[in-house]
A and B are shown apart, each in its own frame.
Chain A
Amino acid sequence: MSKTVPILLRMRDVTLALRGAHDNGAPTLTRIQLQKLIYLVDVVAYLYSILPPSERHRTYKHGPYDQNIQNAVDSLAFRGFVALGALRQSQHGDIATSYSLTPAGTSFAAMLSSDPALALRSYATEDVARLVARIGWGRIVELVYAEPTFVAARGRAFSQPLLTDDVQIESAKQLILMFVRSVSSGFDVPVVPRSVIVQGFFEYLNNVASMSPQRVRQSNVEPATRT
């Protein structure tokens, strides 16, 4: 496969992600938020009959990361589809910025989602963006840090591919199958609706994020008083 194909596919994903975020109360996304939103869409993509990306997110400094996404957003910005917010430097010397769609980017997004071949990806992105918005865009990193594939892989090694749909390892797909088996037990139903599965999965992520011992400790620490 040509090296440009994964980037072209990620250009589609970035455009749909920025549109989904915009429609659900986040007009701009930071670099980390964009990575995380696309990761979450990839995690549930198989439920929408979408094939996984050819190159997966990998474990990195701030959670799952895919270099192709960064290349894609840079490429979209260069072509005038994505606008960059103010550049700023973090304490650690990293350059931080935020991304949003330009009017041309918005038209491009509309064109992509009207294409029947891409409609499923568009639905998946829209659903994930809506669920993240309900929980809060500020908590998207926590949600990703609660995702079981990343939880299992993060301690092992740096730059490990995150195979979220591999049922042979501790993965999101394994957890989702467990969820489906559990909620359908006792009912005479042939299938569990996709929307219920996706909502249940995000409820799990939100519960883990809220109940993790680290977060509980943080919420128990009183803020320092200024003198």
Chain B
Amino acid sequence: MLNQPHEREAMARATRSPATLAAVGTGIDRDLCEQFIRSCEALVRANEARLRNRQVAFVLDATAASGSRRLSMSLINQCLTSGHPRIVVAADLSFVRCDEAVLRLFESQERTRHEKSVELVFSGTYAVYVVAGVVVFDADVVRPERELPVASPFRRPLAEFDAILADHSEDVLRSERGLTYWYDKKNRVLLANPDKTEKIFHRSLFRWLDNNVADALRVFGETRGLGQDATDITVVTPSGSCAIEVKWLGTNENGQDCGEITITQGLKQVSLYLERDPDLIGGYLVCYDGRSADDNREHCFYDASVMHVDCEHPKVIFLESETPSQTARRIHTSRRKASG
């Protein structure tokens, strides 16, 4: 099944279609979802210059009848100026009402989960599609090609998970090339704001997997509270789904400390997912280690008895904070001090 690359790509496109996912998550007719999404994208494309970097969210009300008052840029401006950036519309963009709301991703996920609704949150022309609490897609609607992983040299099947993590570490994490995560690099203190420390690594890994897992039909991230019941990242492949739990070790700017025990806690969580969800065929725990190099070498023990049979051994990734020459200088100095 799906033996040819173009068959896998065809399946991935069908299963990642935002309209399909909106219909599944909300129970609204797929054609209505498609019409709503296309209309919103067209409106934003047509008003690219006027929208600039303003934030606005469009919500589909499938029960609303087509009305005479169509959504326009001037109507959007009125809503934004009055502090009501969440605009509820019918599928053909007939205006229903506008609500006061916070447009952060967390709030959007909570709202859509509670209402079983679909919400497109635009920051300028960049859109995040949230369906019933799940981020199903994100892209720039004017320049979607910016996000396309065209001929990525990093594409690998999920079976090569270690190599995928190594690519991610090398290309994104090393020297903070693609992601800022140190609050105080010298003292190895991790960032905790504006997002939680866990979210910083979670989002980066999610994006990397979404772009680079060759056999993924769908990758979705549960970016909300990252609680016990929601897997951090799930990768759906033709042979089944895999859950990936993301943890961090060390100290963050809020003074929160995560030590060795976090690894065992993470393994317990993965076991719980694997026991509860029959669709899951594998689990991974990835720990980003912001502790000292000595701690990384000597304090990475975990209780293997809590590991589920389908869970891989945890991957602990050491976060570098020094260049090789700085490390050499530090070792040299410490040896000189030791020798008196």
Chain A residues near B (Cβ < 8 Å): 146, 148, 151, 170, 174-175, 178-179, 181-189, 192-193, 195-196, 199-201, 203-204, 207-208, 211-213
- Nearest A residue to B113 via CB reads A188
17 other contacts beyond A175-B2, A178-B1, A189-B25, with CB at 8 A cut-off? A146-B10, A148-B7, A179-B15, A181-B279, A182-B15, A184-B24, A185-B218, A185-B220, A187-B21, A187-B131, A187-B132, A195-B30, A196-B24, A196-B30, A199-B20, A203-B20, A211-B6
Of B24, B25, B132, the most chain A CB neighbours within 10 A belong to B24
Return chain B residues, CB-CB under 8 Å to A184.
Answer: 24
Interface residues of B in 203-250 (CB under 8 A from A): 217-218, 220, 222, 234, 236, 238, 241
B230's nearest neighbour on chain A, judged by CB, is A186
Please give me the 7 A-B residue pairs with the lowest Cβ-Cβ distance, nearest first.
Answer: A207-B10, A211-B6, A182-B15, A204-B14, A208-B10, A203-B14, A187-B25
Offer 24 A-B interface pairs, CB within 8 angstroms, sorted by A: A146-B10, A148-B1, A151-B7, A178-B2, A178-B238, A182-B11, A185-B234, A185-B241, A187-B21, A187-B131, A187-B134, A189-B25, A193-B23, A193-B27, A195-B23, A195-B29, A195-B30, A196-B24, A196-B30, A200-B17, A203-B17, A204-B11, A211-B6, A213-B6
A161 to B255, CA, bound (A): 67
Does residue B320 face the partner (Cβ distance < 8 Å to A)? no
Do A207 and B13 have beta carbons less than 8 Å apart?
Answer: yes
**Which secondary structure characterizes the binding site on chain A?**
helix
Residue of B nearest to A175 (CB): B1
Residue B9 at the A interface, CB < 8 A? yes
Q: Which residues of B contact A195 (CB under 8 A)?
A: 23, 29-30
Chain A nearest CB from B213 CB (Å) reads 13
Instruction: List A contacts of B14 (CB < 8 A).
Output: 179, 200-201, 203-204, 207
Q: In the complex, A49 Cα to B22 Cα: how many Å?
A: 25
Chain B residues in contact with chain A, CB under 8 A? 1-2, 6-7, 9-11, 13-15, 17, 20-21, 23-25, 27, 29-30, 131-132, 134, 217-218, 220, 222, 234, 236, 238, 241, 279
Which DSSP category, helix, strand, loop or mixed, fits chain B's interface? mixed
Name the residue on A nearest B279 (C-beta).
Answer: A181
- Inter-chain CA distance A184–B236, complex, in Å, is 11
Instruction: Say yes or no: A182 contacts B236, CB within 8 Å.
Output: yes
Min CB gap B229→A, angstroms: 10
**CB within 8 Å for A208 and B21 given contacts A148-B1, A187-B132, A203-B14:** no
Tell me how far the C-beta of A31 lies from the nearest C-beta in chain B, rounded to whole angstroms: 28
Docked CA distance A187–B24 (Å): 8
Taking a contact as CB atoms closer than 8 A, the residue among B7, B24, B234 that contacts A183 in the complex is: B24
> By the criterion CB–CB under 8 Å, are B279 and A183 in contact?
no
Residues on B with C-beta less than 8 A from A203 are 13-14, 17, 20
Min CB gap B16→A, angstroms = 9
Residues in B neighbouring A192, C-beta threshold 8 A: 24
B27 — which chain A residues lie within 8 A by C-beta?
Answer: 189, 193
Cα(A170)–Cα(B14), bound, Å: 18
CA–CA, A100 and B17, complex, Å: 36
CB distance from B1 to the nearest CB of A (A): 5
